[in-house]
Chains A and B, each alone.
Chain A
Amino acid sequence: MKLGTKLVMAFLAMAVLVGCVGFSSFLELKRVLEPLTFDIPQGLRKIESTSHLDALAQKIRHYDQILTESARDYVYTGGRQYKYRYKEFEPRLDAAIREAIEKGDEEDKKIFSAMQQAKLTFVNLEYQALASMDKGMKPEAMQILETADYWRSKGEYRRGLEDYIERRGKQYGESLQLTSSQVDGAVMNTHHLVENAIQRLWVISTLALILGICLGLYVSRSILAPIRALKQGAEVIGKGDLNHSIEILSRDEIGHLASAFNDMTRKLKESYAGLEDKVLEKTSELGHKVEEIEEQNKILEMSKAAMLNVLEDLEHAKSEVDEERAKDEAILASIGDGMIATDPQGKIIKANKQAEVMLGVKAADMLGKTFSVVMAHEDEDGNAVPPEQSPIPLSLARGKKVLAIAYFVRKDGTRFPAAITVSPIVRENKIMGAIEIFRDISKEKEIDRMKTEFISLASHELRTPLTVIREGVSLVIDEILGPTTAEQKSFLSMALKDIDRLGRIINNLLDVSKIEAGKMEMKRVHVNLSDIAAGVAEAFAQHAKSKKLELKTRFPKKPVEMYVDKDKIVQVFTNLVGNAMKFTEQGSVEISIEDGEDMIICSVRDTGRGISEQDMERVFRKFQQFGGAASSGEKGTGLGLSIAKGIVEMHHGRIGVESIPGQGTRFFFSLPKDTPQKLFQDQLTRELRAAMNERSALCVVSFTLRDLRFGESAGSAREKTAGALLEDVIRAVTHSQADQVLREGESVFAVFSGADKKEIEKIASKIRTEFASALENAGKKGAKAGLDFRIANYPEDGATGEELLSLLSAA
């Protein structure tokens, strides 16, 4: 039998068992149905019919009363309504009695028939009384109702009724007793039936359950046993006993499987037998091979000798490598900078001679230690740098080059500033170590300090005596101290002019030294270059008029939006236009701006005397003056063009000149059209580098206008105004502490170097308040805008400009 067939039959058997249980319960239920539908309702019906007769008797008594009273009332009062009432109820009484006779049993019929007789008699009399009354014979009518016949018949009637009721009462009790005993019997009967049914169902269910379990066990056994036999057989064969055969008698799929298995085992056994033969064969072959190998060994022996020769050569090459290494060592030793190399944990594995000398520690004493243990790092103010923030661990952690300046403190307490460069050694994306190179920058520091000192000293110390001299001379010229002759005055005026020139020279000289020292600060802002040039032209308008020169301007129609240091670009234009005016006697001076593809080109062209070829190359050098002094006006300082060049180059631009002697000169400078964002980012990168060097903090803040609303309509021009206003507020609130301010659409970015986050948070909140009131004060009624700000700072939030800016723009 197949497995499927077995399972189907087992299910069928179960279904039949369930069916039997179901059918027997149906039969049992049917038995209970009989007493419920027949016995109990019959008893109830009996009670009902009895009570119906009772109701009739009640009616008969009641109608009789009505008739007696109506007849009497008519006779005594003569009210016709009583007569009608009588006539209405008389037939009803008649009908009721007749119904009672019909429905009652024999005894009842007898009683009700007698009552019918009596009723005929008194009704007859009552009709007579009514008729007499109708004729107006009241006494006669009254007499009729008092007759003995009348009362006797009434009495008979009522006795009959009482008899009935008495009998009925007895009968009623009996019937009730009967009926309730009948119902009791039925209920008892039903109870028995149900109990029996439950007992029988219990037996049937238990039998069915036992049968089902037996059937299940049988079926599963008949399926499982062969499988188990198969499994055991497979295990035995698996262990290598190929003689085992599985005995399964079942003729289902498992039987087939077992015989296939046995087949397989047999074939395996056959192939194994073949294999053993082959192994024997191969073993004898191997014997031959061994001899051959011995032969080959001899040949190998010879190769080995040759190899030794090669190794000798290699030894030679190695000494050459050693030579190379010695050279490298010599180079390392002769480098002026200190150098140490570390493993990935920052432990020193090498230090050059210079490092030993500079640090005053033997290389052997450094090996295996971290650099911060060997050498204490301090900042400029003498605060210790935490070891984990020293350059080597920073570089190892970031996998990036780290530039820094730190003070190294030697064991003897002396210290020196060092410019440090740490580069991680990265191989296959793994950091293998780091190399630190450091240089003593004491001298540079000193020079730097002196430069700064000179500039501030010069600005104060040179101007102060100049002020005294100038004012002293002026007081004399102005005759405040007493009368002066005309000749004295003319000499003093000459002195005054040169004092003023000296003042300008000092100013220019300071600018030049600042540019050269890299101390010139740049504060880039958004400007329209045309506006700047137009402003300069306006400043020279009066001067041009007095010299009868035409001052022309030529600007692109579109605003030339640039991100530059406004004051410095004004200075460039002023110097160039001032020069042009000075050297032009007639004709014109033209200021023009061209909007090129990737740069803006500004030109100042004059129709003056021009510059000779040999002078051209010197024009931008310091203290160069050409063609003698200018014919009129102030003398120059010889520094204006040099400063212009410095400023243009600070903006990554180029300045140049072309001239034809006798015809005119054109000075021009280009400014790259870098996007403000790029310039801002470049500047940020520079400041970050400075912050890293100085181990100071840096914050970048973005302010964003939100829900900008003006009283009237909103437009891009108005938004720009709000943005510009915001920029002004930021500058005012921060006392120009913000090094860079960039406006980009509705956002303004500001860089604060040397400031920590908490400080900046306070400032930013203040800016928000001030901006709100500034917007109101700006006269834009109903103007409103929210101001959001975000802060990103170095070193906590990131170490590159991109990282910091991306934090700010991630909305």
Chain B
Amino acid sequence: MKKILLTDDEPNIVKVVSARLKAHNYEVIPAYDGESALDAVYREKPDLILLDIMLPKLDGYKVCQKLKSDPKWKEVPIILFSAKTQAADKQTGREYGADAYIAKPFQPEQLLETIKYLLKE
């Protein structure tokens, strides 16, 4: 079973998205801020990371940049998952090395397809 790290400061979002992912046979590790997200990555070694941008302590861009500049973790796909929908935000995400960008509110099919694609399933 593939492990997905799900980071969002909104517990309800973590709850509903977890339900969806678990229903599709993914193991979900929740995290609620940037720093615990990084800890969770080092501890759990997830196969994919879903990352909100506006996070307490360390924002999603910084988490993304940190992981993508670390040779040990740069291969782990990151999906930025945010309520920011400006084209500029997406561009910034790409520049920090994110593999995909999904805007909230999201279409479940789009999320699942993107995950499948990035996990090469």
Contact = CB atoms under 8 A, between A and B. Distances in A.
Interface in B3-37: 10, 12-13, 16-17, 19-20, 23
Interface string B99-121: 00000111010000000000000
Contacts of B54: 460
B50 to A, nearest CB: 13
Contact of B84 (A459, A465, A503): A459
Contact of B88 (A470, A500, A736): A736
B104 A467 contact: yes
Contact of B105 (A471, A478, A521, A731): A471
A736 B83 contact: no
Contacts of B75: none
A360 interface: no
A465 B12 CA distance: 8
Per DSSP, chain A at the interface is helix
Contacts of B92: 735-736
A471 B23 CA distance: 13
B84 A460 contact: yes
A470 B105 contact: yes
B95 interface: yes
Contacts of A460: 54, 83-84
B60 to A, nearest CB: 12
B95 A468 contact: no
B17 A735 contact: no
B95 A503 contact: no
A205 interface: no
Which are the 3 A-B pairs with shortest beta-carbon distances?
Answer: A463-B83, A471-B16, A467-B104
A474 B88 contact: no
A459 B82 CA distance: 10
B91 interface: yes
Given A463-B104, A503-B105, A736-B92, A471 B85 contact: no
A481 B19 contact: yes
B87 interface: yes
Interface of B: 10, 12-13, 16-17, 19-20, 23, 54, 83-88, 91-92, 95-96, 104-106, 108
B10 A468 contact: yes
A499 B105 contact: yes
Contacts of B95: 732, 735-736
Contacts of A469: 105
Contacts of B88: 521, 523, 736
B89 to A, nearest CB: 9
Contacts of B108: 471, 474, 478
A475 B83 contact: no
A473 to B, nearest CB: 10
A480 interface: yes
Interface string A447-478: 00000000000011001111111111011001
A467 B102 CA distance: 12
Contact of A464 (B83, B87, B91, B96): B83
Contacts of B85: 459, 463, 507
A480 B19 contact: yes
A470 B17 CA distance: 11
Prevailing SS type, chain B contact patch: helix
A467 B19 contact: no
Contacts of A463: 83, 85, 104-105
A567 interface: yes
A467 B13 CA distance: 7
Contacts of A499: 105
Nearest to A460: B83
Contact of B104 (A464, A481, A521, A523): A464
A452 to B, nearest CB: 13
Given A480-B23, A481-B19, A467 B84 contact: no
A135 B13 CA distance: 163
Given A475-B23, A735-B91, 4 more contacts: A463-B85, A474-B108, A478-B23, A478-B108
Contacts of A500: 105
A463 B88 CA distance: 18
Contacts of A503: 105
Contact of B91 (A470, A474, A480, A736): A736
Contact of B10 (A464, A470, A567): A464
B83 A471 contact: no
A567 B87 CA distance: 8
Interface in A562-614: 567
Contacts of A471: 13, 16-17, 20, 105-106, 108
Contacts of A567: 87
A507 B103 CA distance: 11
A468 B83 contact: no
B78 to A, nearest CB: 17
A459 B84 CA distance: 6
Contacts of A466: 104-105
Nearest to B95: A735
Nearest to A567: B87
Contacts of B19: 475, 480-481
A467 B87 contact: no
Contact of A467 (B23, B83, B91): B83
13 contacts: A459-B83, A459-B85, A463-B104, A466-B105, A470-B106, A471-B13, A472-B16, A478-B108, A503-B105, A521-B88, A731-B91, A735-B96, A736-B91
A468 B84 contact: no
A467 B20 contact: no
Contact of B16 (A468, A731, A736): A468
A262 to B, nearest CB: 104
Nearest to A514: B86
Contacts of A474: 20, 108
Contacts of A464: 10, 13, 83, 104
B20 A480 contact: yes
Contacts of B91: 731, 735-736
A135 to B, nearest CB: 134
B69 to A, nearest CB: 14
Contacts of A470: 105-106
A472 B10 CA distance: 14
Of B17, B92, B108, chain A has the most CB atoms within 10 Å of the CB of: B108
A797 to B, nearest CB: 28
A139 to B, nearest CB: 134
A483 to B, nearest CB: 14
Contacts of B104: 463-464, 466-467
B24 to A, nearest CB: 9
Given A463-B83, A463-B105, A735-B95, A468 B20 contact: no
Nearest to B22: A480
A459 B19 CA distance: 25
A228 B91 CA distance: 100
Nearest to B10: A464
A503 B105 CA distance: 7
Interface string A734-751: 011000000000000000
A293 B106 CA distance: 110
Nearest to A732: B95
B20 A475 contact: yes
Nearest to A479: B23
A478 to B, nearest CB: 7
Interface in A694-744: 731-732, 735-736
Contacts of A732: 95
A370 B118 CA distance: 66
Contacts of B13: 464, 467-468, 471
A463 B108 CA distance: 15
A741 to B, nearest CB: 13
A472 B92 CA distance: 29
A296 B29 CA distance: 118
B82 to A, nearest CB: 9
Interface in A756-779: none
Interface in A328-384: none
A292 B12 CA distance: 117
Nearest to A502: B105
| Residue from B16, B54, B88, B92 whose CB has the most chain A CB atoms within 10 Å | B16
A731 to B, nearest CB: 8
